[in-house]
Amino acid sequence: MHLRGRLLELGPPRDLAQTEGIARMPQPVRAVFARTGFVEDFVELPVLSDQPFPGRSWRTRRGRASTGRAGPTTR
């Protein structure tokens, strides 16, 4: 899976119990699901390896430095 400037190798999916899945969700997402509808099935995709993606990162494509800071501006 390509995520920003990283290449992640994902392992096989693992079903999670509903209580474990809810507990592992970030709080903002939990709040949205509580108001819009409840999710019953949860799956974990473990990250087996994480390496730099060979190519330009999303920051480079957007014209930003690799540090995440905007470059010098001209007026």
User: Beta-carbon neighbour count of residue 57 at 10 Å?
Assistant: 14
* Whether the model pTM is above 0.75: no
**Can you tell me the mean pLDDT for 29-51?**
86
Residue-wise pLDDT tens digits, 60-73: 656 655 555 554 54
Q: In angstroms, rounded to a whole number, what is the distance separating the alpha carbons of residues 50 and 57? A: 15
pLDDT confidence of residue 75: 43
pLDDT confidence of residue 22: 84
Q: Do 9 and 31 form a contact (C-beta atoms < 8 A)?
A: no
Q: Is the pLDDT of residue 29 over 50?
A: yes
